[in-house]
Every structure is written in structure tokens, then in C-alpha cells.
Amino acid sequence: MLKYNCIIVEDEPLAAEILADYIRQVPFLELKAVCADALYAMEWLQKEKVDLMFVDIHLPRLKGMEFLESLKNPPRAIITSAYKDYALQGYELNVIDYLLKPVRFNRFLKAVNKLKEQGEGVLPLSPLPAAERTHIFFNVGRKKVKIFLDEILFIESLREYIKISTPGKSILTKFQLGEIEELLSRNNFIRVHRSFIVAKDKISAFTSTEVEINSVQIPIARSYKELVLSVLEGSGRR
């Protein structure tokens, strides 16, 4: 997997921390710096390679729009603002997306996934070291727990929480199943039920009504049955 080097240009510490936390949860994003104003961001751009910027509108000294207009060859940008008024101006500057504060994680995901939709050739990308495995840090109590995607067996929805099961442990974290589904959609996962997402390569057996993973039977809902069976039966043909 390739990663986009990101910086946050934001003078509000809480807003910056929320974005930083979101970035850390997305496998193809790498946070390089948090800049409290546009002038500091300019210095960073002169010495480091940046693929994507998250830029607030109301910044001290130099406003976000003025900052973007001043750059000759700017990285791709996503604007963040508490106001809708600047959306048109932002799109005229060819930004990827315009996020209204407070930014929700599912909306953040839609914005960054537009990079993928536009094609990975649009941005220069920084390769991951070959030995690095894709992982996400999840909030569990007061800790952030690292989960490697290739270890996930299945994910179960428990109202506003999800339970992520791996061979060695299970964690409970506050997340919506739809949000994690979108995050994992380009990886080795498939939704089989409104309450379950499973890792396709961990399925040891299946019928028309359930899949089996690590001796656990997980139901296939009627609404997902056609898609799930087509994927599983198709993967068995060689």
C-alpha cells in the first residue's frame, strides 16, 4: 500500500487533534505535521514533500484561501470550516472537498476516498516500507490499541460500538459498522449481515445461510446473500 503525506493547517487545537486522530485511523494517510498558521505551513512545504493538506479557512496572519491562492504548485487540499460561505470559492481553487466543522469521521472518509476515485496517479505517493503491515489504532477506554488488518477475523456491531475479533484478542470500540465498512472496503473484507463484516480469507467453510470463521458460525442475511455467495463461489473457481 502507498501512503499520502499529510499536513494539517489549523489554529484550533481541538479541531487539529480531531483531524489528526482521523488521519491516524486511515491506512493510506500519514500525518507529517500540524501547522498553527499558514506561514508555518509554507515553511514546511519548502523543505518537505506533502501530498495532501487539511486547511482551515480562518487562520491567523494569512487566511486559508489566501494561503492556497499564494501557492504556485500546491498539494491537493481539503478545506475545513465552520461556515458554508466559502464552499464555492474553495471549489474554484480545485480543492478535493469542503468539510464543515464539527467534522464527522464518515464525512472525513468520503473526502479522503475521493483521492482514490481520482486515481492514484494524481498525487505523488510515498511508498511504505515493504515490511510494514497495514494497521489502525482504535480507541479502547483511554488507550489506542493497534489492530493489524490482516489479523482481523470478523467485526460485529453492538449498537454504537463494534467488536473486532482477531485470533489473539477481541476489542470493543465506539464506531459505527458502516464507517468501518467504508474504511475497509478496499481490503479483504465483505459485509454478510447488517451486524457483521468478515475477512474473506479467514472463512474456513460456508453454506447459503452462514460462514464459518475460527469455529464461529456467522449468519448471512437474505439481503446480502446473492452478493456474498457470488464472491465466495467465484473465489473458489480456478
Sequential pLDDT tens for the chain (238 residues): 578 999 999 999 999 999 999 999 998 899 999 999 999 999 899 889 999 999 999 898 888 888 988 888 889 999 999 887 766 666 667 788 889 999 999 899 988 988 766 544 444 444 445 445 677 888 888 888 888 888 999 999 998 899 999 998 899 998 888 878 877 765 689 999 999 999 999 999 999 999 999 889 999 999 999 999 998 887 654 4
CA–CA distance, 142 with 46 (Å, rounded to integer)? 37
- Which residues, at least 6 apart from 7, have a Cβ–Cβ distance to it below 8 Å? 31, 32, 33, 34, 35, 41, 44, 45, 50, 52, 53, 54
Alpha carbon 80 to chain centroid, angstroms: 16
For residue 162, list its beta bridge partners: 157, 173
Nine-digit cell string for 32: 507529517
Protein fold of 2-127: Rossmann fold (3.40.50)
Residue type, 85: D
Query: Tell me, what's the pLDDT at 131?
Result: 46
Query: Tell me, what's the pLDDT at 90?
Result: 62
Query: Tell me, what's the pLDDT at 60?
Result: 87
- Residue indicated by cell numbers 456491531: 157
3-state DSSP percent of the chain in helix, strand and coil, to 5: 30, 35, 35
Query: Tell me, what's the pLDDT at 87?
Result: 66
- Which residues, at least 6 apart from 108, have a Cβ–Cβ distance to it below 8 Å? 19, 22, 99
Look at residues 69, 111, 110 and name the one whose alpha carbon lies nearest to residue 89.
69
Q: Would you kindly state where each structural domain of the chain is located, as residue ranges?
A: 2-127, 135-235
Are the beta carbons of 175 and 181 closer than 8 angstroms? no
For the structural domain made of 135-235, what CATH number should be given?
A: 2.40.50.1020
Query: Tell me, what's the pLDDT at 74?
Result: 85
CA–CA distance, 96 with 111 (Å, rounded to integer)? 7
- Which residues, at least 6 apart from 212, have a Cβ–Cβ distance to it below 8 Å? 203, 204, 205, 206, 218
